[in-house]
Structure 1
């Protein structure tokens, strides 16, 4: 194998696939990146057996030669050293050549590195995700949907199901839902899908979606999503992202959202966030990061107390209050996480009681909804 390639294109491809490389493995080949070269260009692959990323650098792009192929072939190079070498090389054209015993020479200008590679035949093959369960969505919208839900997944393996985000699709409406049993995040969006395509209980690991969120472009190009029995594939322009799915039945969350409310408040999103953030300076010193919330027709009072530190009181005037006075307590982090994903100036918070879940949403919208369970007060 021997190629000449533009450094920026190579570095970008490395940064894409490196998200699937694991440093915690007893299988040496999994700590590497597989490079495969044919006359069409360079294909790079990495996997940790949970997710897999494959990206393609074409020989020509917009009539400009990106990869000059002199000899086809393949090799697995250690990701850590390979990426550092390419990052540090200041020259715009890089020469890669695989010699005997998988010794790979990397040249840029007056610099030359020799890396010991591994046989590409030892590298695991990515799954062949086939089927007709496929739909399309704008990359930036899907990235936003992930950001607005994945934070609510559980980090504990006691209930593996809750470490994932459940995907469903019906009548062209895509829904992502995540919960750790203390809070819930839901986001819906209309997508391009066959009219008869219905998906349910597709549980994608939260760790996979975090990596996918970093990989998706911030533009409106369409990405194709293919769902198989135990795998999901996201196809971007020159990159493919694979992830295993979590096996099991996700709990039914459709009935968790209340339909009637005793109290509702309309508040400035940033003002509420800042007030809770200041209260959390004391709240995080108590056991459950507890903040108390008192709602009256005239004002909202937020308090937090720590026996070892002291007390904080925040008072502000909401834009609107409807219904009964209310006193409840909640985990400050859960509310701050929820508020952080709203890109709206105002937020509507609806309550059904001091011990019932309450909802955060944009006034007049149901596209994104956050649900939080209060904490019992002593």
Structure 2
């Protein structure tokens, strides 16, 4: 095997596949990066058997040559050394050559590295997803779906199914939801060009976080294919395969109250910053509890107190209020997480009483929903 490649292109592909490589893999060879050279380009693969990432560099694209002098073949290189070598090579042009005995030579400028490779035949074959159940989304839309939900997955392995995000596709509407049983984050988007339907697809939160890091913000499309135990995200140069979580995801729609007693309209940023300040004295508490109390003249008071440290109160003005007065306590962390992902200037918060879950939504967009359970403080 032999090829000459642009270093930047190679580095980007290496960084992408490294996100799937574990330092303690199930199979020893999975600590390596697989390189495969074909006449049309180079494919790099990284996998930890839960997530597999393939990054493809075409030999030529739109008249620009990325890879040249290709002699076909494949090799597995140690991920502990190869990325650092590529990063520190002196020139933009890199030549990689593999001989019969799997010795790998990497040349750039006056630098030459010789590494021992491993036989690519021993690298596990990635499952090829045969599915008609595919649909497409703009990449930037998928990124916002992930951002607005994945933070609410559970970090506790006691209920493994809650460590993932539930994807549902029904009536040409795609819904992402995540819950750790104390809060719920959900977002819906229309998907018009498909008649597919599925309900119990649960993607590990870790997989979605890694996918989010590799995808560039763009309006290009990403193709999503689902089978019963895996999901594939595919763009022109990237394939990201993740296993799905086993088990039935709980029916979260039951948590959402259908009536409310108090509704507040408030600036997202003002409320976020006020709660953030109040939480400074709530750090010691496990839940970082703050208290919200409605006041006259379109004000709410945000307060927090800690018997040993002190207390804080701050009033924040609201645009308007409907319904009954209210006093409620909740986790400042959960509220900050929820407000941070709402990219709208004003939110509407609907309460159904001091001990019932409440809902936060942008005033202009009800496709985004954040639900938080209050905290008992007596």
Give the TM-score taking structure 2 as reference length.
0.97
Counterpart contact for 2:26–2:49, Cα < 8 Å = no
1:285, 1:309 within 8 Å by CA — same for their partners in 2? no
Q: Distance in 1 between matches of 2:377 and 2:291?
A: 9
Alpha-carbon distance between aligned partners in 2 of 1:339 and 1:41, rounded to the nearest angstrom: 44
State the number of aligned residues: 377
Larger mean CA deviation between 258-267 and 295-304 belongs to 295-304
Instruction: Give the 5 Å matches for 1:13-92.
Output: 13-25=13-25, 27-92=27-92
1:130 Cα shift? 1.0
Contact map agreement 1:9 1:57 (CA 8 A) in 2: yes
- Name the SS for the 2:210 alignment partner: helix
Structural mapping, 1:150-299, within 5 Å: 150-195=150-195, 197-298=196-297, 299=299
SS across alignment from 1:211: helix
Alpha-carbon deviations, 1:182-210, whole Å to 9, x = none?
Answer: 00000011124323x11111000000000
1:229-260 per-residue CA deviation (whole Å, 9 max, x = no partner) reads 10000111111100000111100011211121
> How far 1:41 moved relative to its partner?
1.0
Question: 2:93 touches 2:108 (CA, 8 Å); kept in 1?
Answer: yes
Contact 1:150–1:209 (CA under 8 A) maintained in structure 2: yes
Contact map agreement 2:94 2:106 (CA 8 A) in 1: yes
What is the distance in 2 between the residues matched to 1:107 and 1:223?
35
Inter-partner Cα distance in structure 1 for 2:141 and 2:199: 20
SS in 2 for 1:337: helix
Deviation at 1:27?
3.2
**Residue matched to 1:368:** 368
Cα distance in 2 for partners of 1:251, 1:26 equals 30
Quick one: distance in 2 between partners of 1:193 and 1:238? 23
Misfit runs of 4+, over 3 Å: none
Q: Give the corresponding residue for 2:147.
A: 147
Which deviates further from its counterpart, 294-303 or 225-234? 294-303
Q: Which residue of 2 aligns with 1:2?
A: 2
Once the 2 structures are TM-superposed, how far is the Cα of residue 297 of structure 1 from its aligned partner? 3.5
* CA deviation after TM superposition for structure 1 residue 69, in Å: 3.3
CA–CA separation in structure 1 for the residues paired with 2:287 and 2:177: 24
Can you list the C-alpha shifts for 1:329-354, whole angstroms capped at 9, x where unaligned? 11110000000001111111110010
How big is the shift at 1:132?
Answer: 1.1
Residues 245-277 of structure 1 show CA distances to partners (whole Å, capped at 9, x for unaligned) of 011110001121112111111111111000010
Tell me which residue corresponds to 1:121: 121
Indicate the residue corresponding to 2:300 in structure 1. 300
Q: Would you say the 8 A contact 1:135–1:192 is kept in 2?
A: no
Q: How do 1:278-357 residues align onto structure 2 when only pairs under 5 Å count?
A: 278-298=277-297, 299-357=299-357
Unmatched segments (≥5 aa) in structure 1: none
SS, match of residue 20 in structure 1: coil
C-alpha distance in structure 2 between counterparts of 1:257 and 1:366, whole Å: 13
Moved more, 324-333 or 279-288: 279-288
Structure 2 alignment gaps of length 5 or more? none
Two-structure CA RMSD over aligned residues (Å)? 1.2
**3-state SS in 1 of match to 2:94:** strand
1:95-114 counterparts in 2 under 5 A? Answer: 95-114=95-114
Residue 256 of structure 2 aligns to a residue whose secondary structure is coil
Give the secondary-structure state (helix, strand or coil) at the position aligned to 1:214.
helix
